[in-house]
Amino acid sequence: MRIIKTIGHLRKILNEFSRNGKRIGYIPTMGYFHEGHLRLVRHAKKECDICVVSIYVNPKQFSPAEDLSRYPRDIKRDSMMIEKENVDILFIPSDNIVYPNRYLTYIDVKEISGTLCGKYRPGHFKGVATVVAKLLNMVRPDVMYLGQKDAQQVVVLSRMVADLNFPVSIRVVATAREKDGLAMSSRNIYLSREDRCQAPVLFRALSDAAKRIQKGERSVSKIIAFIKKTITQDTSGKIQYVACVDANTLEPLKIFKGKALIALAVFFSRTRLIDNVIIPIKKTGKSQNY
């Protein structure tokens, strides 16, 4: 595995691969890998000739009040984990390479960036869209792999890629979960032992809600009430939002129809966890081509 730190070096190597007709798979990350990242890598390894992973903790997607400085980082551990998966290139650009002085350009994916998480994290998806556009121009992959755990990110980036005509396919890989159902996240290490015990309630509530819908429940307000009750009655989780939206447009639903996304964000102490399911639920381990 080559570790590359500059855009010039990255381009030189990747241009060579492209000229030789190699298919490049790319996974943009903020590092601190878990099984979810590794699954993206394995899909890329299987489906492409060259697998590129980037690690960059993007300051522009954190608001001043958020956890940029304490976001977990461990490049050495990350390198070892993906070297074992035979990743070809690990790209680790520094802040001054990604955002040099007098940086002025931002990409805004309107409407769908301002709902769900975006409502509580103003500017977050503008930061995500901007950095991913930059990374796509640096890496020029054939396929980009994203995890379904960040459902809104998937929708926003898919829309940006389509709208701006980036010549890349997006493959979405199902959320990796702990045995008890908790969605894997780099932020799970923040959880106290007690919070960690309670956190699986999120996926349990989502799964039970999905079952109710599969059995015929169509009322969004009833499903939201059910999820909220499930989470709050037994745990200390503080709900930021629970929403049922169209999975493509993110527009709120009143009754379940078509492809729906149930998404939520819940605080356990200071740690904000997110999770989601798509109705009808996708089978675990399958990826979805946008």
Residue 146 interacts with its own copies (CB under 8 A): yes or no:
no
Q: What minimum distance in Å lies between the beta carbon of 107 and its own copies?
A: 5
Cα of 206 vs its chain's centroid, Å? 18
Contacts to its own copies from residues 59-78, by CB under 8 A: none
Residue 95 interacts with its own copies (CB under 8 A): yes or no:
no
Determine the length of the chain: 290
Q: What minimum distance in Å lies between the beta carbon of 159 and its own copies?
A: 6
Q: What minimum distance in Å lies between the beta carbon of 60 and its own copies?
A: 12
Write out the two tokens for 280. Answer: 């009808």
DSSP 102: S
C-alpha dist (Å) from residue 223 to 28, 207, 277? 34, 11, 13
Q: Are 188 and 201 in contact (CB under 8 A)?
A: no
Residue 179 interacts with its own copies (CB under 8 A): yes or no:
no
Peptide bond preceding 100 in cis form (omega within 30 of 0): no
Contacts to its own copies from residues 248-277, by CB under 8 A: 249
- The residue annotated as part of the active site, out of 34, 37, 43, 124, is 37
Residue 103 interacts with its own copies (CB under 8 A): yes or no:
yes
Pick from 104, 216, 283, 286: which binds its own copies (CB under 8 A)?
104
Peptide bond preceding 252 in cis form (omega within 30 of 0): no
| β-sheet with 271-279: strand ranges across | 238-246, 260-268, 271-279
Residue 19 interacts with its own copies (CB under 8 A): yes or no:
yes
Q: Contact region for its own copies (CB under 8 A) — 38-46, 80-88, 106-114, 261-269?
A: 106-114
Residue 132 interacts with its own copies (CB under 8 A): yes or no:
no
Cα of 261 vs its chain's centroid, Å? 15
Residue 165 interacts with its own copies (CB under 8 A): yes or no:
yes
Instruction: Determine whether 37 is an active site residue.
Output: yes
Residue 106 interacts with its own copies (CB under 8 A): yes or no:
yes
Residue 94 three-state SS:
coil
Q: Are 122 and 144 in contact (CB under 8 A)?
A: no
Q: Phi-psi bin for 113: left (phi > 0), alpha (psi -120 to 50), beta?
A: alpha
Comparing CB distances to its own copies, the nearer of 102 and 215 is 102
Residue 120 interacts with its own copies (CB under 8 A): yes or no:
no
C-alpha dist (Å) from residue 241 to 22, 62, 207, 260? 43, 19, 17, 16
Q: What minimum distance in Å lies between the beta carbon of 136 and its own copies?
A: 9
- Pairing verdict, β 238-246 and 260-268: antiparallel
Q: What minimum distance in Å lies between the beta carbon of 95 and its own copies?
A: 14
Pick from 21, 64, 193, 215: which binds its own copies (CB under 8 A)?
21
Residue 160 interacts with its own copies (CB under 8 A): yes or no:
yes
Residue 163 interacts with its own copies (CB under 8 A): yes or no:
yes
Residue 129 interacts with its own copies (CB under 8 A): yes or no:
yes
**Residue 208: how many other CB atoms lie within 10 Å:** 14
Q: Which amino acid is at 97?
A: I
Q: What minimum distance in Å lies between the beta carbon of 149 and its own copies?
A: 23
Q: Are 236 and 198 in contact (CB under 8 A)?
A: yes
Binding-site ranges for its own copies (CB under 8 A): 7, 11, 19, 21, 102-112, 129-130, 133-134, 137-138, 140, 159-160, 163-167, 249
Positions marked catalytic: 37
